[in-house]
Amino acid sequence: MSDSDRPVVLRNGLVLTMDDSHTVLTGADVLVIGGKIAEVGHHLTAPDDALEIDASGGIIMPGMVDTHRHMWQTAMRGYGADWTLTQYFVWYYLESGKLFRPEDVHAGNLLGAIEAIDSGVTTTVDWSHGLQTTDHADAAVDALEAVPGRFVLAYGNIQQGPWEWSTSDAFRDFYRRRIDGGKLAGFQLAFDIPGDPAFQEKAAFEVARELGVKVTTHAGVWGATNDDGIRLMYENGFMTPGTVYVHAATLSPDSYHRIAATGGSVSVSTESEQSAGQGYPPTWLLRKHDIPVSLSMDTSVWWSGDLFSAMRTTLSADRSREHMEAHSTKDTVTHHHLRAEQVVDWGTRGGAKALGMDSEIGALTPAARPTWC
Ligand SMILES: [Zn+2]
């Protein structure tokens, strides 16, 4: 029996189950057998060989889920602390991003994966848009497979149009070798739709459809993507369930209606939107349109890998906006609409649902997989 097969019981903690009722148990235990949660409750009987962990005074919660993190950029962790989005684009898209070698992507992904796990983020979408060649992609996957966590590779390449790299023989060969039946938790295609009426991105959407994988796209980013990209996706039938729209901060009600009506969700990176300038963090609008939300850190070139900071900033940005909107009509907010509990949901179950993995992760319920399995 390997260590990972040994039963584990966590004792006497404050358990945030994040089940459908958001049940909270005080002084409770969580029993894990065979890599799955067997039982949650009080005074559980554990197998004799179970590893006992005293969780007194601590919180036991599901591992957090980040739906958008450019892990290859972790090699430059903290370098852009004072950047705007414009400076980021110049550095990564125009000047230095193309200098990254496969070993640089490997280094960033390795550090990024460890940083995620160290922060309690047990499932991360590696929004990997620095894959200039499939050698870079192999290096990215090598690093992700070397770290015990769940990683979804969102394949992208900002040095080419998505209609170019996604239709290449090299990409198809990589998919067969590393993804189909591989060890990663999932796979997405990652590219943006700036709104050119020619809509060449159609070819990449067709590849995603053929492979049966989802698309994730930076949508509603001030100065980069807008309603035109959403409209083109909609008119061509590519706004499908499971599509993850990142930021979605500068969109019209029409676009929000389209996202809501087609089963998409939005990955909100509040620290990024506030500092880089994609637009005001949109949760206050997404709530109005009943659009599912997940959270993300975006990139460690500015921010940390800590999703607790995403939860705190998302809560305060939403409340700040609610107060501002009320004051503009001489009203007063007496009770916040967005509750702390809801933001914890977005950081756990919200991400699991966005990735279609909520039957396995995102809640401490029997049969779910705990953080470390
Ligand atoms: Zn991003």
DSSP string covering 161-176: -HHHHTTSHHHHHHII
Q: 190, 128 in Cβ contact below 8 A?
A: yes
Q: Measure the CA–CA gap between 337 and 323, rounded to whole angstroms.
A: 11
Between the CA of 22 and the centroid of ligand 1 the distance, in Å, is 30
Between the CA of 12 and the centroid of ligand 1 the distance, in Å, is 39
Q: What's the number of CA atoms in the CB half-sphere (13 Å) around residue 10? A: 26
Q: Is 183 exposed, middle or buried (0-12, 13-18, 19+ CB in 10 A)?
A: exposed
Between the CA of 182 and the centroid of ligand 1 the distance, in Å, is 25
Between the CA of 103 and the centroid of ligand 1 the distance, in Å, is 21
Between the CA of 245 and the centroid of ligand 1 the distance, in Å, is 10
Q: pLDDT value at position 4?
A: 67
Between the CA of 298 and the centroid of ligand 1 the distance, in Å, is 5
Between the CA of 40 and the centroid of ligand 1 the distance, in Å, is 36
Between the CA of 225 and the centroid of ligand 1 the distance, in Å, is 12
Residue segments in the chain with a per-residue pLDDT below the cut of 50: 372-373
Between the CA of 17 and the centroid of ligand 1 the distance, in Å, is 30
Between the CA of 126 and the centroid of ligand 1 the distance, in Å, is 10
Q: pLDDT value at position 61?
A: 96
DSSP 67-115: EEE-GGGGGGTTTTTT--HHHHIIIIIIISGGG--HHHHHHHHHHHHHH
CA 286 to chain centre: 17
Q: Measure the CA–CA gap between 112 and 75, rounded to whole angstroms.
A: 8
Q: pLDDT value at position 181?
A: 87
Between the CA of 299 and the centroid of ligand 1 the distance, in Å, is 7
φ and ψ of 27, to 5 deg = 55, 40
Between the CA of 336 and the centroid of ligand 1 the distance, in Å, is 29
Q: Measure the CA–CA gap between 213 and 72, rounded to whole angstroms.
A: 22
Between the CA of 224 and the centroid of ligand 1 the distance, in Å, is 12
Give the 3-state secondary structure of residue 228.
helix
Q: 250, 279 in Cβ contact below 8 A?
A: yes
Between the CA of 7 and the centroid of ligand 1 the distance, in Å, is 38
Between the CA of 167 and the centroid of ligand 1 the distance, in Å, is 23
Between the CA of 70 and the centroid of ligand 1 the distance, in Å, is 6
Q: In which residue are the tokens 């992700």 written?
A: 144
Between the CA of 346 and the centroid of ligand 1 the distance, in Å, is 18
